[in-house]
Each structure stands twice: as structure tokens, then as C-alpha cells.
Chain A
């Protein structure tokens, strides 16, 4: 399994600014994912971030708004750029690795709660 930490745990930001969220994993993993959970909604995948390649974005998400870095097998960042109140959400990092149940089990970080004023 994997233990994932995220920084910051929460933040309140002004519109028009940017925030970078960090995700750290306690083991080397190939596949990392970034999700958004808007208030009262379920999780939506923003992008898949594999080390050594460009992130792959889902429909409705673009690199200019959500740039992602993946410098090594244990770390990734997601930046939310030029924020507006509609970006207020919980942002979650997840990884796929060998868990107690399967080789492709996904584990999630505690999330970053972002409020944009």
C-alpha cells in the first residue's frame, strides 16, 4: 500500500492568484492522479501524471489552468492558476500501486481544501 501526504491541507485564496499543491508518496509509484471534488459532488479526474512524460488531461481540464509536474516517482504538484470562486473544491492526489487486495489498487491522499474568495 501507499501513504500519501498533501500540502497544504487547506487554503483560502484571492481570485486571480495561483496555488500549488504538493503530493508526496512514501514509495515509488508509476501512476499518479489528480482529482477534484466540488462541494456536494463526487470525484472528477483532472489528469494522470506519469513520471517521465507529459500529464494527460481529461476533457474539460487544460494544462494552462492546471499545470502538473512529476519530477520523480514519489512526488507531484498540481497548480491551480488564475483562480476563481468556481475553483473552490477539494483537490486529491492518488496513486496506483500494489495493495493488500490487488496490484492495481488506488490510494488517496487526505486532500487539499481550497476556498477562493
Chain B
């Protein structure tokens, strides 16, 4: 059974800092890994998706990496802003028949202080 762990559970940084969020998963048989952002009481916004054959993806100030063999991914946020404050969720899409589904971590609550 796939398990996804995110560290840290919460992170508070001053504006302008670069930061790294971590995600690990136990089963490397995945199609892809997605990073989402969730604002309080809202749905999820897809940030980055890395296919299992890829190593990293970039979008603006965000960079996500994937090391499938070791079951790890990182989300790097450069020059953080107060508007980046949200919960960041990592999810892996499991491969294989009836197991085809997204498994989520519990998220990292990020607060960027002005």
C-alpha cells in the first residue's frame, strides 16, 4: 500500500527566503507525482506534475524534483512571498490496474511572514 509522507508539517519563514518542502513515498511504481496548493477552505490548485521518467519540472519560482528510485521529491520555492502562504500537498499517481489512483500526503502548512 502506497504511503506518502511530507516533512515538515508546518513551516514559517520571512518573506524573500528560499525554501524546500519534502515528500517521500514508499512504492516507486508510480506514473507521476503532482504538487498541489490548497488555500484554507478551498479546493486544490495543481502546481507541478513530474512524470516518472522525468527528473524535474519548473514553473516560475517553483521547481520540483523527483528521485523515483529513492522515493523522494522536493518542491523548491524561490524568493517566497506572503501570497505563497498555503498548504502544499504532494500526491503520487500509482500505476497498475485497480491501484490507479492518487495517494496524498498530509501536507505542509507554509506561512510566509511579511
Q: Which of A1-42 contact B (CB under 8 A)?
A: 4, 33, 41-42
Rounded to whole angstroms, the CA-CA distance of A90 and B48 in the bound complex is 23
* B89 proximity list for chain A (CB < 8 A): 42-43
> Do the beta carbons of B42 and A110 come within 8 Å of each other?
yes
Q: Is A113 part of the contact surface with B, judged by Cβ < 8 Å?
A: yes
> Do the beta carbons of A104 and B31 come within 8 Å of each other?
yes
> Do the beta carbons of B43 and A43 come within 8 Å of each other?
no
By DSSP majority rule, is chain A's interface helix, strand, loop, or mixed? strand
Rounded to whole angstroms, the CA-CA distance of A13 and B105 in the bound complex is 29
* A105 proximity list for chain B (CB < 8 A): 34, 46, 49
* B49 proximity list for chain A (CB < 8 A): 99, 101-102, 105
Rounded to whole angstroms, the CA-CA distance of A104 and B101 in the bound complex is 11
Rounded to whole angstroms, the CA-CA distance of A55 and B74 in the bound complex is 34
Nearest 5 CB-CB pairings of A with B: A108-B44, A101-B49, A110-B43, A42-B104, A42-B106
Interface size on B, residues (CB 8 A): 25
Closest to A41 in B: B106
* Contact A92 to B43, CB < 8 A, known contacts A42-B89, A99-B49, A104-B93: yes
A interface, CB within 8 angstroms of B:
4, 33, 41-45, 48, 56, 58, 90, 92, 94, 99, 101-102, 104-111, 113
Closest to B89 in A: A42
Closest to A113 in B: B41
> Do the beta carbons of B101 and A33 come within 8 Å of each other?
yes
For B83-114 the 0/1 string (1 means CB < 8 A from A) is: 00000010101000010111011110000000
28 A/B residue pairs, CB under 8 Å, sorted by A: A4-B43, A33-B101, A42-B105, A43-B44, A43-B91, A43-B102, A48-B101, A56-B98, A90-B41, A92-B43, A92-B44, A94-B44, A99-B46, A101-B48, A101-B49, A104-B31, A104-B32, A105-B34, A105-B46, A105-B49, A107-B46, A108-B36, A108-B43, A108-B44, A108-B45, A108-B46, A111-B41, A113-B41
> Do the beta carbons of A111 and B43 come within 8 Å of each other?
yes
* B93 proximity list for chain A (CB < 8 A): 104, 106
